Amino acid sequence: MVVGPGAIGGFVAARLADAGWPVAVLARGATLEALRAGPMRLTDDGRERAVPLRAVADVRKAGEVDLALVCVKSFDTAAAARGLRGALAPGGVVLSLQNGVDNPAVIARELPGAAVGGVAVYLGCQRLAPDHVIRRPSRNPSTGRLRDLLAGGGAGAPGRALAAVADAIGVPSRVDDDPAGALWTKLVANVALNTVTALGRARVGRVLADPRAVGLMLALGEEVVAVARAAGVPVASDAARAYVADARRRLPADGGSSTLFDLEAGRRLERDALVGAVVREGERLGVPVPASRACDALLRLLDPG
């Protein structure tokens, strides 16, 4: 069961269905209507194909669920997890394929019998329409090898599920016994890029061409690192600079971020799970985060939600 067939969820569901997995997607509104009316259009690495998906409005209509992939925005995590009650098989696995660091704990509170894992997702996906998802894979320019990645998972069943999903959809994976390091390292990227592209209403190329914008990205990323390390999470001390260097090599100039796309579309922002989480944890741990605090205040004013 894929809960939330947006950019990431739609891509993963379509690739799993293509691989022969018995997949259902839990959707609502225009997405539910579109997927019931016709197939998902998947544009993957320039190739487009139509993939029929079974779309349901009620998880109980899909039968017993052995594996649930939660791909909704972080502010919908608790409701999504509650919706799985009564449908998840005994010992069932739930993987969070979401931005932010708190989602696995939220899911575990709502589903105390589930094996829950968190996954850091590095996939260049964007939803162009309720039934159309595009993926632009990232490759090493010298070797051509995929640089897309699913990382984390956790020990035992969640890690095994992550490896199986990644293998089925053709994306490299790295399984960690504790996914916290992977989630916080991804938060460095999300806070740095999402915040600056959204506040500047600017695409990646424009941001990376402006030294002051890059300086703000570094300041935000370094605050995430400081908070993570204060919390005992093993994030590399140079993670912010490493991310900016990687973004210069990997990200297309006309690319953006999920927060920018949500802002442009007038949708609620995931601010509270990204830069907002840094502010909260910084306060709790006594770590100064002035750049995050200022940007969080500005994003609050912009947030359509």
Tens of pLDDT, residue by residue over 90-130, are 989 999 999 999 999 999 999 999 999 999 999 989 899 99
Burial of 32 (0-12, 13-18, 19+ CB in 10 A): middle
- Residue from 29, 103, 35, 32 nearest 68 by CA: 103
What does the DSSP 8-state code read for residue 76?
Answer: G
29 and 168 belong to one structural domain: yes
157 and 60 belong to one structural domain: yes
Q: What are phi and psi of 85, to 5 degrees?
A: -60, 135
pLDDT value of residue 286: 98
In this structure, the strands spanning 149-153 and 115-122 are antiparallel
Tens digit of each residue's pLDDT (9 = 90 or more) over 280-304? 999 999 999 999 999 999 999 999 9
**How far is 177 from 214, CA to CA, in rounded Å?**
33
Full residue range of the structural domain in which residue 19 is found = 2-178
Tens digit of each residue's pLDDT (9 = 90 or more) over 245-286? 999 988 889 989 999 999 999 999 999 999 999 999 999 999
pLDDT value of residue 291: 98
Q: How far is CA 202 from CA 95, 159, 196, 286, in A?
A: 32, 36, 8, 32
Burial of 253 (0-12, 13-18, 19+ CB in 10 A): exposed
pLDDT value of residue 55: 96
Tell me the CATH number at 186: 1.10.1040.10
Q: How far is CA 144 from CA 78, 148, 221, in A?
A: 39, 12, 28
Residue 210, CB half-sphere, CA atoms under 13 Å: how many? 13
Residue with tokens 């999920």: 258
Are the beta carbons of 31 and 100 closer than 8 angstroms?
no
Q: What is the mean pLDDT of residues 152-181?
A: 97
Burial of 290 (0-12, 13-18, 19+ CB in 10 A): exposed
pLDDT value of residue 140: 73
Count up the domains in the chain and report the number.
2
pLDDT exceeds cutoff 80 at 139: no
**How far is 16 from 281, CA to CA, in rounded Å?**
36
265 and 282 belong to one structural domain: yes
Q: 262 is written with which tokens?
A: 């949500």
Tens digit of each residue's pLDDT (9 = 90 or more) over 16-40? 999 999 999 999 999 999 999 999 9
Share of the chain above pLDDT 70, in %: 99
164 and 191 belong to one structural domain: no
125 and 188 belong to one structural domain: no
133 and 187 belong to one structural domain: no
- Residue 296 corresponds to which amino acid? D
174 and 289 belong to one structural domain: no
Q: What is the mean pLDDT of residues 131-152?
A: 85
Are the beta carbons of 204 and 252 closer than 8 angstroms?
yes
**How far is 101 from 235, CA to CA, in rounded Å?**
13
Count CB atoms within 10 A of the CB of residue 212. Answer: 8
84 and 173 belong to one structural domain: yes
- Residue from 64, 87, 166 nearest 119 by CA: 166
199 and 98 belong to one structural domain: no
Q: How big is the chain by its Cα radius of gyration, in Å?
A: 18
Tell me the CATH number at 151: 3.40.50.720
Among residues 111, 143, 178, which one ends one of the domains?
178
pLDDT value of residue 97: 98
250 and 285 belong to one structural domain: yes
Tens digit of each residue's pLDDT (9 = 90 or more) over 179-212? 999 999 999 999 999 999 999 999 999 999 999 9
pLDDT exceeds cutoff 80 at 144: no
Are the beta carbons of 178 and 115 closer than 8 angstroms?
no
Among residues 155, 178, 201, which one ends one of the domains?
178
Q: pLDDT confidence of 169, banded at 50, 70, 90?
A: very high
Burial of 127 (0-12, 13-18, 19+ CB in 10 A): buried
Q: What is the mean pLDDT of residues 220-233?
A: 98
Q: pLDDT confidence of 51, banded at 50, 70, 90?
A: very high
32 and 120 belong to one structural domain: yes
What is the torsional sign of CA 204, 130, 65, 112? Answer: positive
Burial of 144 (0-12, 13-18, 19+ CB in 10 A): exposed
93 and 109 belong to one structural domain: yes
Among residues 178, 206, 240, which one ends one of the domains?
178
